Amino acid sequence: MRHSSGEQALDPVGYDAELRRHHEVLRRAWGVGLHDHVLDIGCGTGRTTRDAARTARAGGALGVDVSAPAIERARELARADGLGNVAFEQGDAQRHRFPEERFDLVTSRFGTMFFADPGAAFANVRRALRPDGRLVMMVWQSAERNEWEVAIREALAGSDAPPPAAEGPDPFSLGDPPAVTRILDDAGFADIAFTDVQEPVYYGPGVAAALGWVRGFTSTRVALERLDSAAAARAVERLRETFHAHLSGDGVRFDSRAWIVTARRPG
């Protein structure tokens, strides 16, 4: 899934449905308390933020995302849910001026891999945490460990072209535990740990839905644009065949591997 937290998140069903099982794993890892204040990085349309706010009933949750349309949609959904302890702000968490030592928990569901300067970003996030506050984020493991990435890339390439190069931010940039440990340690975090998550991504109830969803990915669109019309048609057909091969009674699913990364601001 080569799209950032805001991209495609404007579909309040598709993106959350794709990551439904990942979302439940992340929720179990939060440990949100009744009085906690939670910061959600790369919140998209705010599913994770709203869920955190429901648990932190005597506290609250703030969602931040670079996408203005996603933030507006998040606000609409929070109003519809009647949540009074949740807020959303547009901004880049790398530079956003958060109140210092405000939050008990900083979380993110696949929203922290896209920082231009991860060291500066996590230092900024650490300053927003209270002493002993926690970071709990979900990130993709390396590309080769994610079946959805490998299958889509190979289907797009076929014999028409070499595998397409990644476009834009790298969704696998935080997939290497030693590198991430160095980044977080340099940013001032302690007790850094990684938990392996193996859950499928969901691309829709059938092949047509999966094809429509994946053709919206930036990497898919760019790869198809690089081909002439005949080669692009062959690539789309290969995608269709790939989705057929992954279709079951539970829809089109691909294996995936992620990390839950936890850390703490030292007290």
Residue 163, pLDDT above cutoff 70: no
Give the pLDDT band (50/70/90) at residue 159.
low
Q: What is the pLDDT of residue 128?
A: 97
In tens, the pLDDT along 199-210 reads 999 999 999 999
Range of the domain at 75: 14-264
In a domain, 122, yes or no: yes
In a domain, 109, yes or no: yes
Give the pLDDT band (50/70/90) at residue 160.
low
Q: What is the pLDDT of residue 15?
A: 76
How many independent structural domains does the chain possess?
1
| Count of CA atoms in the C-beta half-sphere (13 A) of 27 | 16
Cβ neighbours of 129 (radius 10 Å): 25
In a domain, 135, yes or no: yes
| Least confident segment among 131-145, 164-178, 250-264 | 164-178
Q: What is the pLDDT of residue 161?
A: 52
Q: Which two tokens stand for residue 200?
A: 């499928």
- Is pTM beyond 0.75? Reply is yes
**What's 129's domain CATH number?**
3.40.50.150
Residue 143, pLDDT above cutoff 50: yes
| Least confident segment among 42-51, 157-166, 217-226, 236-245 | 157-166
In a domain, 154, yes or no: yes
